[in-house]
Structure 1
């Protein structure tokens, strides 16, 4: 691929162009067509890092909240952070929220899964091989059986956490944020949002003006107009290596969208990305897309990698999303 970067509307850093192919220990085997290992298990937490926020409740939903050190004495903006399958109790996800908080955002990270985080798809620790170099026939059989079991568990988990279940959670949290952090919402003239893996698709749904389908969010009637509320529910959104996205999810998008993508990502195929870009361009929706080569799906979430090139791409992706938020 001669030009691995696809960008529209605004230029981005060229740092990721220097990346090299990932080592085998850093590249997960994509055995499930809808959710990969990086969607359901964390990388090792970077040495010496820990989270600083707290888990509480908003609108009856468990949320992790991280605030700028000077808030509320200094103004801040409200950022909704939607996680992958590892959920709100993941230390890496919490540190990711803290990183945005240190940049002037009150970050609210909701539990999208009601305490039911995704089944851990990896039991391999840092530096270990996922399988022997030359597995015997018995070992190969055991490996395939284990992968089939993982796939089944993840499919069952996904069946429990559908759009009809997740959207009501998001609406409860958004409504509660408008009350609890009215100053931050007002200061930013709306709600900012970022999403990773599983959470990436819901950034698109929240950025859309499409009318809500039956069973989505039990929307409340607008008392003045007597109509059902519709989106967009966020001012601006950014997503990284989203999963479960279809071309239809781009329909009705109105809020500016930034996308961090992985080259040749089977969980966010090129044809889906290109269909989304075409829709955004034809409908004059402000957007930016950057495709990162030689990185695994999930690379933009806080986590330790041996490969320095992946670490550099992770930092670049964060800067890309952060700058997009600050520019809007």
Structure 2
């Protein structure tokens, strides 16, 4: 019994990522579009990270968090896009069992880290706007360094257990994933037996991470908006809102698409719609973030002009 069980568990050594079903010509077109998108994402986020690193005027907690967030975007898209580009040119579209679960772990861990960083940035804006006199005393170097480390490591702790549990499910075939990434939902559907405990743990962690972080950001900005509305000066109100507008735009883009996919009715959508939603938060949002932050922020635009000598 033990030998047959072991044989079933190890019978699948690789998976097939179908990606977007289309003609070879369309696959080449997709390759071109996503190659350009990936390159622009790397360039845009790297530029913001370098601006924060090189311009001493940006050596404040708000911009340090933004610089880390930009670096996080780079590694986040790199967990999936290069493999997706390779599959556009591949006839087999295969990914090994270990590589599939490694992609799953890193993609969701970095995605969870993004949610944590949005919370950290919201908390920073709450302190700066609602408690400006106490901000320097509270947001010390030790605190923002600790928050930055937590933002990078939190997701890896949260998603370690689900990845281990799902990887230990019995995969005895089929091995075709109708997606362009190793997403946990279709992975669990391929398992030969249903494990309600694993599904419960994964769903619970998703709800805790997404709903919890979203509510934290929502509460932070509700308090910020109430504080801004009480400001007597119109100029002060405009300045406060301008520092938060870009962050709010990123929050809406990220949390909106992720919640539709994993917490709302996303799992009930047709497969092609699920792929489009995944493209939105895994490719489009990291591409737009540098534009949002640079176009809506005077200090960032000044730093970028200095870098490019404009």
What is the TM-score normalised by the length of structure 2? Answer: 0.30
Structure with more of its chain in strand, by fraction = 1
Compare CA radii of gyration and give the structure with the larger one: 2
What is the TM-score normalised by the length of structure 1? Answer: 0.29
